[in-house]
Amino acid sequence: MSHWEESKILPDVTAVRESEGVVEIDLVCPADLMQFQGHFPEQKIMPGVGQLDWVAHFADKHFSHGLSVVEVSQLKYRDLMLPDVTVTLKMSFEEAKQRVRFSYEGEDKVYSSGIVKLGTFDV
């Protein structure tokens, strides 16, 4: 088994709240997540690409069922997401535009926010 296969890539889900087109997911981001490895040696920080990967994963699970992220807009990183933090991923689906507005929030702060457009890639 390779290092990548052994590594944990998704945070722990502790709660999910769903209503029409809106999902809130409480996540615990343990220090052993693959995304923290090497980013950075002196202070582990959750990279933005890891946060986007989780949005894509949870958007697919709750809204798109097979669509991919084809565009990212209004992306803002506002605070550092450190190991062992608990965050709430808030996502709202705009079906007509096939996009998801998201934010990672916790303890009176917003870590990041943006919009991902869903679709298929023409090959």
How high is the pLDDT of residue 81? 96
Could you tell me the end-to-end alpha-carbon distance of the chain, in angstroms, rounded to an integer?
Answer: 32
How high is the pLDDT of residue 123? 62
Contact 89, 62 (CB under 8 A): no
pLDDT in tens, 25-60: 999 999 999 999 887 888 999 999 999 999 999 999
Q: Would the pLDDT of 12 be above 90?
A: yes
Percent of the chain residues topping a pLDDT of 90: 79
pTM to 2 decimals?
0.90
**Contacts for 84-88: CB closer than 8 Å, 24+ residues apart:** 84/28, 84/29, 84/30, 84/31, 85/28, 85/29, 86/14, 86/26, 86/27, 86/28, 86/29, 87/11, 87/26, 87/27, 87/29, 87/111, 88/24, 88/25, 88/26, 88/27
